């Protein structure tokens, strides 16, 4: 019943898509479509929430479509429900934002038909209960988002981004397909129930894991499969970028969890966890380092998605490692951390992308070097963006901190693991995690500081106006959720408990709502605890106390004057620190190793009035070592083979002749 209701929503979304195709001339279509998606996503959100809070018994449904002898299986369990909440929350907020933002879309006919389809695809992936429907929906999701990436296809870079995206999506789908092939076995037991029951040999199970990691990892943006992500996510319209980065990557995480934790069952070797863990650690650090080197705001955010996916996978890797050693209590902590971060990242990444969208609408720019001072014309957007930036930088009392804190707590439990490799790996990954958190803070000081603070660096930035109320509403809903999840983490953890139990042989964290003051104490209070609510209260109290006392007892006068700047006031806005210069110290520290960064200064001779130039060259090691050789090899081989297009007929005949003789010889020898 509930499932058919939930399934009817994607169908309705697809209908909306169809309507968008046919109404491509209607003036009010944009508002109409987005209202429809808003309503549908909200309904789905409410339905799932009600289901979740009301006992969450799994519901199943089989429809006579899809593979004929199998039918289409759908199922709603706690895991799906959680991700459905993430997806539909993101969908609803993005739709709300787009009610305002969509008015500025230059090519609505390339956005409107695909946006509802994209949402429908993501919903269907989560509801699927057999491999065919899962992959079908998965690929459909990729395809509709690909169309959205190409919405502004006149920019050459976007076409390239779309291409890379689609190829990587196909790669991922094929990897998943192979892993499902293993799970299903030669008889083709494609429904998830059969797969769950099937027993794989350790070797095949490990292969399945690797393939699932490749498949889901390429969609989620795990290093080294991330190359498409920072190109594709920014190319789409901002509300779609928000969905892609904030939500679609979570669907990929869902795919990984579903295959590895649910279908595959218990991990069979400790190195599974180690593999996922190290990939997660590398992604976290490389992601944020890449992000620091960017000056395109949306691309910066996209690289941060890589980082956060890394953090999520660190949690998942830890959970695998714990499960492999039957340490279910610890695994529960790691899983909770990962899932919590899934929720958090979807909130603040959507928020940040939507904020960028607002900036884009107001200025037409997403290059930070041409922005600045936007906090004056756009105070509300700036506030919301600031909350998002603080949240993603893992600053208490916001939500990003809670999940990273939980991940750290899980890492702190790794000394209990019996395997040496893991014992060494975990602290190293812990260091990487800490490094990435600190670098993320640096990166968002840059992102917020260069974009919103200082003085405008271009006329467009100077003439910006505050964004519309729909967009603001969307931004503040997300900002409020970031804060709420940050100060009431115990409730979220309790909400995640059934999912963790589902994936973890029944073991989950102890109920948190009984803790005094809603403290979060995942293991025991003597070991570690955190209370975001109290931290917020204390900060608010001490801060307002300071304000009150100082303004009462001392001085509350403020005058305006020119900036002092050590005695050099009134300089041009171009003398401000730019995004590039902000990142320079970090580039010096990390860049020369990771990116082979080279700086080249061209200084005009004395007397020459030309500006001096500083050029920075960065090389992406992943691209250089992984993708470039593959591309080159394919081109080289195909060039070599291309000769075969230009043979003479005689040579073609020789080919046939040769094939015939070869086969006859084979027959003779076969006897």
- Per CB under 8 A, contacts with another protein among 199-238 are 207
Q: Which of residues 342-401 bind another protein (CB under 8 A)?
A: 372-373, 375-376, 379, 382, 386, 390, 393-396, 401
3-state SS, residue 616: strand
CB 491 to another protein: min, Å: 17
Alpha-carbon span 583 to 463, nearest angstrom: 27
Specify which residues 62 forms β-bridges with: 73
3-state SS, residue 101: helix
- The piece of 243-251, 268-276, 301-309, 541-549 that touches another protein (CB under 8 A) is 541-549
Among 360, 521, 595, 620, binds another protein (CB under 8 A): 521
Q: Which of residues 274-333 bind another protein (CB under 8 A)?
A: none
Q: Closest Cα to residue 305, out of 409, 225, 366, 385?
A: 225
**Residue among 559 and 610 whose Cβ is closer to another protein:** 559
Contact flag: residue 132 with another protein (CB under 8 A): yes
- The piece of 60-68, 227-235, 308-316, 620-628 that touches another protein (CB under 8 A) is 60-68
Q: Which of residues 640-659 bind another protein (CB under 8 A)?
A: 641-642, 644-650, 652-659
Q: Closest Cα to residue 396, out of 485, 480, 307, 311?
A: 485
Contact flag: residue 408 with another protein (CB under 8 A): yes
**Residue among 55 and 642 whose Cβ is closer to another protein:** 642
Alpha-carbon span 368 to 460, nearest angstrom: 12
The tokens of 558 are what?
């403020």
Contact flag: residue 626 with another protein (CB under 8 A): no
3-state SS, residue 493: helix
The tokens of 157 are what?
């870079």
Contact flag: residue 412 with another protein (CB under 8 A): yes
Q: Closest Cα to residue 72, out of 192, 178, 187, 252?
A: 192
Q: Which of residues 453-472 bind another protein (CB under 8 A)?
A: 453-455
- The piece of 37-45, 95-103, 301-309, 574-582 that touches another protein (CB under 8 A) is 574-582
Contact flag: residue 159 with another protein (CB under 8 A): yes
Alpha-carbon span 504 to 614, nearest angstrom: 54
Alpha-carbon span 273 to 269, nearest angstrom: 8
Q: Which of residues 421-450 bind another protein (CB under 8 A)?
A: 423-424, 427-428, 430-431, 434-435, 437-439, 441-442, 444-446, 448-450
Among 15, 39, 153, 627, binds another protein (CB under 8 A): 153
Q: Closest Cα to residue 532, out of 511, 509, 515, 545?
A: 515
- The piece of 90-98, 466-474, 561-569, 604-612 that touches another protein (CB under 8 A) is 561-569
Size of the site for another protein (CB under 8 A): 157
User: SS3 for 191-236, per residue?
Assistant: EHHHHHHCCCCHHHHHHHHHHHHHHHHHHHCCCCCCCCHHHHHHHC
CB 401 to another protein: min, Å: 5
Crossing angle of helices 249-256 and 131-149, in 10° steps, is 160
Alpha-carbon span 469 to 354, nearest angstrom: 13
Among 510, 584, 616, 618, binds another protein (CB under 8 A): 584
Among 196, 465, 513, 527, binds another protein (CB under 8 A): 527
**Residue among 604 and 658 whose Cβ is closer to another protein:** 658
H or E element: which one contains 657? helix 649-670
CB 153 to another protein: min, Å: 4
The tokens of 590 are what?
């990390």
Contact flag: residue 131 with another protein (CB under 8 A): yes
Among 184, 242, 302, 333, binds another protein (CB under 8 A): 184
């Amino acid at each position: 019943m509930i499932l058919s209701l939930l399934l009817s929503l994607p169908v309705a979304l697809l209908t909306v898509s169809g309507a968008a195709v046919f109404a491509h001339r209607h003036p009010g279509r944009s508002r109409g479509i987005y209202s429809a998606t808003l309503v549908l996503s909200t309904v789905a959100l409410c339905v799932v929430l009600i289901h979740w809070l009301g006992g969450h018994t799994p519901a199943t449904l089989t429809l006579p479509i899809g593979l004929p002898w199998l039918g289409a299986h759908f199922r709603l369990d706690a895991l799906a429900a959680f991700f459905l909440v993430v997806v539909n929350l993101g969908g609803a907020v993005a739709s709300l934002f787009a009610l305002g933002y969509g008015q500025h879309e230059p090519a609505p006919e390339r956005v409107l038909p695909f946006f509802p389809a994209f949402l429908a695809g993501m919903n269907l992936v989560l509801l699927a209960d057999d491999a065919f429907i899962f992959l079908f929906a998965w690929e459909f999701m990729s395809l509709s988002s690909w169309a959205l990436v190409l919405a502004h296809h006149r920019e050459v870079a976007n076409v390239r981004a779309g291409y890379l995206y689609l190829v990587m999506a196909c790669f991922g789908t094929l990897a998943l397909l192979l892993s499902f092939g293993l799970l299903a076995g030669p008889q083709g037991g494609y429904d998830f129930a059969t797969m769950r029951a099937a027993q794989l040999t350790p070797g095949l199970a490990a292969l399945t894991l690797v393939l699932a990691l490749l498949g889901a990892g390429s969609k989620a943006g795990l290093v080294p499969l991330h190359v498409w992500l920072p190109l594709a996510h920014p190319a789409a319209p901002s509300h779609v970028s928000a969905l892609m980065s904030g939500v679609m990557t979570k669907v990929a995480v869902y795919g990984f969890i579903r295959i590895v934790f649910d279908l595959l069952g218990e991990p069979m070797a400790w190195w599974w966890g180690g593999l996922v863990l190290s990939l997660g650690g590398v992604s976290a650090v490389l992601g944020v380092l890449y992000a620091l080197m960017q000056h395109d705001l949306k691309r910066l955010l996209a690289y941060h998605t890589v980082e956060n996916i890394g953090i999520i996978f660190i949690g998942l890797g830890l959970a695998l490692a714990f499960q492999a050693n039957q340490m279910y209590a610890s695994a529960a902590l790691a899983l909770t951390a990962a899932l919590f971060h899934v929720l958090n990242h979807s909130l603040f990444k959507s928020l940040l992308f939507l904020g960028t969208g607002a900036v884009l609408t107001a200025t037409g720019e997403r290059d930070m070097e041409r922005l600045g001072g936007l906090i004056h014309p756009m105070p509300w957007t700036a506030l919301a963006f600031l909350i998002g930036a603080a949240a993603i930088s893992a600053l208490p009392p916001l939500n990003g901190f809670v999940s990273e804190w939980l991940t750290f707590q899980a890492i702190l439990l790794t000394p209990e693991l019996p395997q040496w490799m893991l014992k060494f790996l975990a602290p190293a990954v812990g260091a990487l995690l800490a490094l990435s958190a600190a670098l993320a803070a640096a990166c968002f000081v840059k992102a917020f500081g260069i974009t919103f603070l200082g003085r405008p660096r271009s006329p467009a930035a100077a003439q910006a106006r505050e964004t519309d109320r729909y967009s603001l509403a969307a931004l503040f809903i997300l900002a409020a959720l970031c804060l709420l999840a940050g100060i009431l983490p115990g409730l979220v953890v309790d909400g995640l408990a059934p999912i963790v139990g589902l994936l973890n042989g029944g073991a989950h964290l102890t109920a948190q709502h009984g803790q005094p003051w809603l403290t979060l104490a995942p293991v025991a209070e003597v070991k570690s605890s955190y209370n975001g609510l109290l931290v917020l209260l204390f900060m608010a109290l001490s801060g307002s106390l300071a304000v009150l006392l100082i303004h009462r007892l001392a001085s509350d006068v403020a005058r305006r004057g020119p900036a002092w700047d050590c005695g050099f006031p009134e300089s041009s806005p171009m003398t401000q620190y730019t995004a590039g210069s902000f990142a320079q110290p970090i580039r010096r520290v990390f860049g020369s190793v990771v990116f082979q960064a080279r700086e080249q200064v061209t200084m005009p001779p004395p007397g020459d009035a030309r500006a001096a130039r500083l050029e920075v060259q960065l090389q992406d090691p992943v691209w250089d070592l992984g993708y470039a050789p593959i591309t080159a090899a394919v081109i080289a081989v195909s060039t070599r083979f291309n000769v075969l297009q230009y043979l003479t007929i005689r040579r073609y005949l020789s080919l046939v002749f040769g094939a015939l003789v070869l086969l006859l010889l084979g027959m003779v020898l076969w006897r």
